[in-house]
Amino acid sequence: MLSPNEFQEEYPANELESKLPDSPIGSLRDLQYLYGKLYTLATTGGGEYAPYLTPDAASDLVDTDDSLIVVRVNVSGDEPRLADDDTGPVQVRRYTKDMIQQIGHCKYPAARGIDHSVTHQAGKNSDPEKLARYAKERLIKWAVDDVVTEAADEHPNGWIIEQLAELGADETALETIEETIIRKLGGESATSLLTVQVKIDPDGEYQWPGDLDVFNEAMRQRKLSKLVTKNKADDSSGDATDLVTGLPARTVGTSEDPQNYFLGKQLEKFPGLDIENAWRSHPISEDAAITVMNAEAFVEACTYRTFGAKVYYLPYVFGRLTSETVYELYGLLYRAVESDGDTTPIEDAYERHSEREIDDRTFRFYISAVMPHQMSRYDVFGETLNGRLHYPKELAATHNQFVRNVSAFNTNTEWTAPLPTNEKWDLLSGSDDQLHAVATGWYFYQTFAERDDDEADADDPRITALVSVLSGEAIGVDVLLEEYVDRIIDDQTDEDDHEGFPAFLVASQFAQLCALADNGLDLLKSSGPSKEPITLEPSYATHTMPSLDEIPIADGGHPAAPKLESFINDTPALSPDHDRKAGSVTSQRRGAFLLGALVGDIGSYQEYSEDRSTTLVDQFPVKSITRSRIKKVTQETVAKTLTYTRKEKKQQGVYPGTKAEHIVERLRKTILDPDPDDWEIETDDLRFYYALGVTYGMNDHPDWSQMDSDADETADIEEEN
């Protein structure tokens, strides 16, 4: 394959533009057709038969020993005979790169059968006897194939193929071929291409198949025949307008496809398919179909697997094709083919963008995910031509900025931030690999319910979410809440890996939720007014929280109170600003959060001050929280809070107010108006914000590291004085 520089030298601007489609890319077929054109130009060059060749099929044989076995046939006399010159009837040699067009190889990708061309590719490390059989089949099988003989009958030089078939009936000639091959290989196995050379004129040279039009046409007809008989069709073809070129042509209905689309068993693309009339539903001309098939190398290079599905992320030029933009596109595709790293096409494209080798405004990306099933069934979902490099990169950057910079996760006070961070958790560390996480789906794997990828299906919400963020489509907040809650419950009840409440998981989920809600991305959508506040971007300060000296605290106040007030007010899903009426769903969500915060706060107190192995957090797990139970849980939690308040007052003599008073007072007001028995909030919504509250409450304590740092600083100052 030509390098980008070689491609540009081989095809100057004017020449390249003459070979490109006239119209912009408007469909997957247009994109595949362009890929196929570029691949053909880069591998087999121009020419009528170039698209039919398969140069990559035997690329691993180039410059290897005994990689080409040639049966040499002289048809210049009255009867065909094997060559009797110094080279002999059979030549065993190296296959070289400059012979691609000469041997005219066209692979037939089937477990059994012969290749479309007279040149045939043997299996790996075939023994001499098998190679001899394949060599003889050039005469006794390919030359008498029905499609080949029909093509020969209609071609003025068809007699050359007829002469091969005639020689194939000569047992002495066949024995000579076999004996010569076995002798020249010396009993050693080999991986080889097998072909023929023919001498047409008495004074002429032996010619390769690719140099003779009759061999090329027979190869072409044999390959085309497979485009109309797939899936047991008799002849799925007819005259129609080619959907790629827009010109009248003979169209085919069962051609192969790099992405397995529009096949007989691909029900989403061909509902109620009549196989014989598939050409009417999806008319593509013979030559266009072949060109589309040649897109496979580039298509495969721009795909990756995740969640049991195959994700396609195919770049294309947006708008009119020019030589400059196509050179850029070819560079992207070439590097994707040559890449041997673990990065996705998205990351590779972004690297090119960072190095200013491509302009994001010039390119769009076709995105889809394909789920394979048994019996050659494929489900296609999430298909769009509107993908942009901007979407996954901006989500990765927004998530990192959120975790690193906003007050919900950061503090420089002697009290903790509302939610914890952890360098060992990718979604809480601001990891530089966040783009890789978004691109591969790891971003959602960490927060969604776990599944067995071997049993994944097209309804897998992880795949839906991945395709959505790649294409800039919004994800339903209901989907996120359901997945988040299922994962929380699974992690909290996993007896084999039980490490307490999954606070870092919940914090990761919330960070993700907020990043998706960013105004610049707009990747969340609600199912109704009650969920709309969740889809709004929070208004947390984009800097660390102020120091204690800067926080206005009333006499007898506590730094935890303004922190809670600020977090609730700056979180649209909880803020009173979004109470549409008294007792609205936002108010109910706030009540669930406050209850969780109190459970987390008192649960932490029980664990560290009371040395209790089972705390309120364990007593009231997320799966136990429902509208019917929330009042009882609240009553028991508040009662336990008052018990510890009285206990501390008795031990210390004085206690300024109720323990966790900043939570208790707000909870009392919220949980009773209206009565939880009359609440309307959905269970997943209720449980997630309860879990978020637990995480908040468990993290609501003095920041010991900050206090230690302040103490060290004070000691240093005193020492200096």
Lowest mean pLDDT among 57-71, 159-173, 430-444, 679-693: 430-444
User: Domains in the chain: how many in total?
Assistant: 2
Per-residue model confidence as pLDDT tens digits over 269-301? 555 567 777 777 778 888 888 899 899 999 999
Indicate if the pLDDT at residue 503 is higher than 90.
Answer: yes
Indicate if the pLDDT at residue 712 is higher than 60.
Answer: no
Token pair of 230, please? 């797939």
169 within some domain:
yes
653 within some domain:
no
Phi then psi for 660, rounded to 5 degrees? 55, 40
Establish how many alpha carbons lie within 13 A of residue 704's alpha carbon, considering only the half-sphere containing its beta carbon: 1
206 and 333, same structural domain? no
Boundary of a domain, candidates 462, 495, 528: 495
310 and 217, same structural domain? no
Confidence class for position 82, pLDDT limits 50, 70, 90: very high
335 and 213, same structural domain? no
Helix, strand, coil percent content, the chain, rounded in steps of 5: 50, 10, 40
Give the C-alpha distances (Å, rounded to integers) separating 680 from 532, 557, 587: 15, 34, 11
Question: Crossing angle for the helix pair 286-293 and 28-43, nearest 10 degrees?
Answer: 70
Average pLDDT in the chain: 86
676 within some domain:
no
Q: Residue 88 has what pLDDT?
A: 93
150 within some domain:
yes
Indicate if the pLDDT at residue 200 is higher than 60.
Answer: yes
Token pair of 327, please? 């050179």
Which range marks the domain in which residue 456 is found? 299-495
Q: Residue 670 has what pLDDT?
A: 82
Confidence class for position 718, pLDDT limits 50, 70, 90: very low
CA dihedral 666→594→598→494, nearest 10 degrees, is 170
Alpha helix ranges (H) inside 406-558: 426-429, 434-440, 442-445, 461-471, 477-493, 503-516
Q: Residue 708 has what pLDDT?
A: 47
Confidence class for position 721, pLDDT limits 50, 70, 90: very low
Boundary of a domain, candidates 444, 460, 495: 495
Q: SS3 sequence, 206-255?
A: EECHHHCHHHHHHHHHHHHHCCCCHHHCCCCEEEEECCCCCCEEEEECCC
Percent of the chain with pLDDT over 70: 88
84 and 173, same structural domain? yes
Q: Residue 523 has what pLDDT?
A: 94
Lowest mean pLDDT among 319-323, 386-390, 461-465, 595-599: 386-390
Q: Residue 634 has what pLDDT?
A: 92
188 within some domain:
yes
303 and 423, same structural domain? yes
Boundary of a domain, candidates 187, 222, 257: 222
* CA–CA dist 645, 605 (Å, integer): 11
Q: Residue 261 has what pLDDT?
A: 73
Per-residue model confidence as pLDDT tens digits over 313-339? 899 998 889 999 999 999 989 988 888
Indicate if the pLDDT at residue 192 is higher than 80.
Answer: yes
State the average pLDDT over residues 658-665. 86
Lowest mean pLDDT among 72-76, 144-148, 431-435, 652-656: 652-656
CB distance 460 to 307 below 8 Å: yes
Indicate if the pLDDT at residue 706 is higher than 60.
Answer: no
Indicate if the pLDDT at residue 431 is higher than 60.
Answer: yes
In the beta sheet, which residues pair with residue 403?
none
466 and 338, same structural domain? yes
Token pair of 95, please? 């296959």
149 within some domain:
yes
328 within some domain:
yes
Percent of the chain with pLDDT over 90: 50
* CA–CA dist 146, 154 (Å, integer): 13
* CA–CA dist 295, 32 (Å, integer): 6
351 and 212, same structural domain? no
Q: Residue 131 has what pLDDT?
A: 95
CB distance 332 to 350 below 8 Å: no
CB distance 668 to 571 below 8 Å: no
Confidence class for position 403, pLDDT limits 50, 70, 90: very high
Per-residue model confidence as pLDDT tens digits over 539-550? 998 754 444 444
Question: Greater confidence, 323 or 237?
Answer: 323
Q: Please tell me the total number of residues recorded for the chain in this structure.
A: 721
325 and 216, same structural domain? no
Lowest mean pLDDT among 193-197, 244-248, 652-656: 652-656
345 and 464, same structural domain? yes
325 and 472, same structural domain? yes
* CA–CA dist 196, 211 (Å, integer): 12
The DSSP line for 465-485 is HHHHHHHTPPEEHHHHHHHHH
718 within some domain:
no
Question: Greater confidence, 194 or 704?
Answer: 194
- CA-only gyration radius of the chain, Å: 35
Per-residue model confidence as pLDDT tens digits over 371-382? 876 656 677 777
> Which residues neighbour 365 within 8 Å (Cβ) at sequence distance 6 or greater?
313, 314, 315, 316, 349, 387, 388, 389, 470
Confidence class for position 578, pLDDT limits 50, 70, 90: confident
Lowest mean pLDDT among 235-244, 435-444, 518-527, 582-591: 235-244
421 and 305, same structural domain? yes
Q: Which helix (H) or strand (E) holds 132?
A: helix 128-137
Q: Residue 239 has what pLDDT?
A: 85
State the average pLDDT over residues 536-540. 92
* CA–CA dist 331, 345 (Å, integer): 13
In the beta sheet, which residues pair with residue 368?
312
Q: Residue 550 has what pLDDT?
A: 46
